Each structure stands twice: as C-alpha cells, then as structure tokens.
Amino acid sequence: MKRKLIAVIFRQTKKGNIMVSSYTLQCTRNLGRSLQLAALIWIVSISVTESVTPILRGEVGGNVTFRCPVNKTRTIIFIYFQSGDKFVNGYHTIRDKEMPEPWGNTKMDRNKAHIDMIRLNISHNGVYRCIIRYNDNNTPEVHNIKLAVTANYSKPSVETTCDDGNLGCVVTCSSHGGYPKTKMKLITPESGNSSTQVFKEVKSSHVSSPDTMLFNSSSTTYINCTSGQWKYLSCSVGEATSHTFSVCEPKRVPESNNQTLIIAFVVMAVIICVTIVIVSCKLLCKKKTGTTAGQMCNINGNLHENISLNPNQEGREAS
C-alpha cells in the first residue's frame, strides 16, 4: 500500500514538475514575445516621432516664420528657440535680462510664440527646437521644426559648336546659383538605345561656391549628326529649363548672298542683251548703207535719208 502511494505521489510530483516546466517554458516564450513586441512598438514610435517633424521650406534671400506650438491656457515660464545647442531667440519671464543675444536676422512675437527669420541662406538649413516650460511642470517640452532652404537655378545657357563637316556637334549647358546639388540634363525628343548612340555625355560638373554654398551645374554632350538634324532640344536643371534649339542643321548659303547673286545675274543679263541689240543694229545699218545710197545710221541705230541739194536749186526754192 505504501509502495503504491509513493508511486502515485512520485507520478503526481513528476507530472507536476512537467507541468511546472511546461508552464515556465510557456511563460518564458510569452515574455520573449512581449519584449519583442515592446521593442517593435518602441522602434515604430521613434520612427513615427521623427517622421511627423514638420518641415518648413524657404528660399535663399527669403523669409520664414517658425510657429512654436504652445498651450495658451497654461502659464509659460520660458521659450528657448535653438538650432542644436545654439540659442537663436526666446525669452524667460523671470531671468529675461540674462538671456543671450538673439540672431540678428530673427524677431520673436511673444504673444503668438512665432519667430520670424529673414535673409535666409544655405547655412540656415537644419533642425530647430522650440523648448517650452510651463509653471505647472518642471520638465520642458521640446518640439522640433526642420528648415529646408533651397535656391532656384538660373535659366540654363546653351552653347553649340559643330565641326567643319557637320558630322557632330558639342552642346554645353550651364546654370548657376542653385541648391541643392542637381544634375544638368539634356532633354531630347527620343529615348532608348538609339538616343544613347546619338547623344553621349562627355562631361558633367557641380561646383559649390565657398561663400554662398550655391551650386553651378553644367553638362557637355556630343551629338552624332549622321542621322540628320535634331530639333526641339533643351537643357533642364531643377525647375529651370532653357529655350528649345536645333543642332546638326544642313549648311545653307545665306539669303543675303543669294540675293546678291540674283541681282548680279540680272544686271549681267541686261548688259548682254543691250550689247547684242546695239551690235545687231550697227550690223543692220552697215548692210543697208551698202545697198541704198544716201542712207546712213546714227549711233542709236535710226535710219535717216541724206538728200544732197545744190545751191541753185536751193536758191530757186527760196525765191
């Protein structure tokens, strides 16, 4: 009886150990999944927080307004507007006299918690922080605002040079004063393998000015003219596009030269015709003079009759 009881207890204990072990394993698995889920939620939260940071856009030389989100129903102790660790503007209701000097191109409206920034340049790009502390909380609130400053490129200029045989042309497109760095493109009416065989980029450059940090963008392309003339080409960089132009045009004689040749031909033809008429008239006059007495031709080719009168006959007629 004791042996049976011990056996039953052992079996129950063994089953209990198995159950405890299974339960522990299950809990461990659930805990691992929970930690993974928590880590995933934490990562997603960070991503969402970063993605919802508002972006304020401006252009070089322009103005922008930062709007710090404040709760107007609460009493503000201070607002610090910073770029990284650099103080830009702000105020402190208690120690306002101890505040650093604000940036010269900024002005703050305390009632609206707005900061105006003027005369923007590329160095103003970055993330700014509105640090706000209320009287009912010692921990300040931080709100990020990203400023993206851009500059429009100038209208691209186009220079075209073709060889003497008109077998190929080199087109150079250039633009300046833009940001961010953008590649210059030659816009062609065709694309694909045929286009790559005709249009070949030989040089491309992006040069930044050390003073303004703005970029100059240019591109040089060789165009094969064996397939004929190409029309409606243009250069583009950013939002700027050049005028349309043509290359590989067949060589023609200028219209002014054609007109000169036509006028010279007409004058020469007139001279030849007049000469022929004069010579013909002279020959005709000589022929008639040889057959009819008393006739002669003047220089204009007119035929006149020359009548010889003796003095006596003239006198009788006079009387």
- Are both 123 and 189 inside the same structural domain? no
Same domain, 59 and 135: yes
What is the SS3 assignment for 189?
coil
Asked if the structure places residue 313 within a domain, the reply is no
Look at residues 247, 262, 282 and tell me which one is the last residue of a structural domain: 247
Based on the fold, state whether residues 137 and 165 are members of the same structural domain: no
Domain for residue 30, yes or no?
no
Q: Is residue 63 part of a domain?
A: yes
3 state SS of 151: strand
Query: What is the greatest pairwise CA distance in the chain?
Result: 204
Distance, CA of 111 to chain centre: 41
Q: Are residues 171 and 129 in the same domain?
A: no
pLDDT in the model for residue 152: 96
Nearest residue to 16 via CA among 8, 119, 112? 8
pLDDT, residue 306, reads: 44
Statement to judge: residues 112 and 164 lie in one domain: no
pLDDT given at position 10: 35
DSSP letter assigned to residue 152: P
CA distance 38 to 251: 75
On the 0-12 / 13-18 / 19+ scale of CB atoms within 10 A, 317 is exposed
| Model pLDDT, residue 96 | 86
> Alpha carbon of 207 to those of 178, 220, 236: distances in Å?
10, 15, 17
Name residues whose C-beta falls within 8 Å of residue 63's C-beta, 6 or more positions apart in sequence. Answer: 116, 117, 118, 119, 120
What is the pLDDT at residue 48? Answer: 32
Quote the tokens at residue 55.
Answer: 């972006």
The answer to whether residue 111 sits within a structural domain is: yes
Q: Verify that 209 and 169 share a domain, yes or no.
A: yes
Are residues 120 and 171 located together in one domain of the fold? no
Range of the domain at 60: 55-150
172 and 94 in one domain? Answer: no
Is residue 15 in a domain?
no
Domain edge (last residue) among 181, 214, 247: 247
What is the pLDDT, as a whole number, of residue 189? Answer: 82
- What is the count of structural domains for the chain? 2
pLDDT at 79: 97
Specify whether 135 is located in the same domain as 68: yes
Q: Are residues 145 and 188 in the same domain?
A: no
Verify that 144 and 168 share a domain, yes or no: no
CATH code (residue 146): 2.60.40.10
- Which residues, given as ranges, of the chain have pLDDT below 50? 1-25, 27-28, 31-51, 292-297, 299-319
**Global confidence as pTM:** 0.59
Based on C-alpha coordinates, what's the Rg of the chain? 50
Q: Is residue 197 part of a domain?
A: yes
DSSP 199: E
Residue at 82 is within a domain: yes
Instruction: Report if residue 272 sits inside a domain.
Output: no
